[in-house]
Amino acid sequence: MPCSRDHFIPILDELRQREEQTISENQWPSVGKKKRGGPRPGSGPPKGNLNALKHGRYSSRHKKLLESLLEVPEARQALIDMANRNRQRVRKAEIEAAYLIMRWLATHNPQFLPQALD
């Protein structure tokens, strides 16, 4: 009984099908083969995510924004003043923290206080 109108030998059809299957099976892994290492495709933040701008010092948008702000003299001076106020607040906080540690040492471990004062 013929497999198709064109063929009267069924074994030839079967051999052709096997041959096509092996070719398609051999080609499939190379088509879908992924490289090893590196991030997965699609990993990372979604497009348009501004977390790096909001939280990251090293984002390119942040740098561009700061560079454009520094070109305006009033904005530049305002940023310098903000940095100076921040430095003063940090210094004050460090002095207060040192004072609190000294008081704690004086009340809880007085034998370590002379070493801490050195």
pTM of the entire predicted model: 0.42
Read off the pLDDT of each residue in 81-101 and give the average, rounded to a whole number: 94
Tens of pLDDT, residue by residue over 8-34, are 556 666 767 776 666 555 555 555 556
In a domain, 35, yes or no: no
Instruction: Provide the number of structural domains found in the chain.
Output: 2
Query: Can you give the pLDDT at residue 22?
Result: 62
> DSSP 3-state helix, strand, coil percentages of the chain (rounded to 5)?
70, 0, 30
pLDDT at residue 34, rounded to an integer: 60
Identify whether the C-beta of residue 31 lies closer than 8 Å to the C-beta of residue 25: no
Domain presence at residue 39: no
Asked whether 10 and 3 are in contact (CB, 8 A), the reply is yes
Statement to judge: residues 64 and 111 lie in one domain: yes
Domain assignment of residue 113, yes or no: yes
Indicate the residue type of 15: L
56-73: pLDDT as tens digits:
666 777 788 888 888 999
The domain of 12 spans: 1-30
* Contact between 61 and 52 (Cβ < 8 Å): yes
**Residue 65 to residue 67: CA distance in whole angstroms:** 5
Rounded Cα–Cα distance for residues 83 and 78 (Å): 9
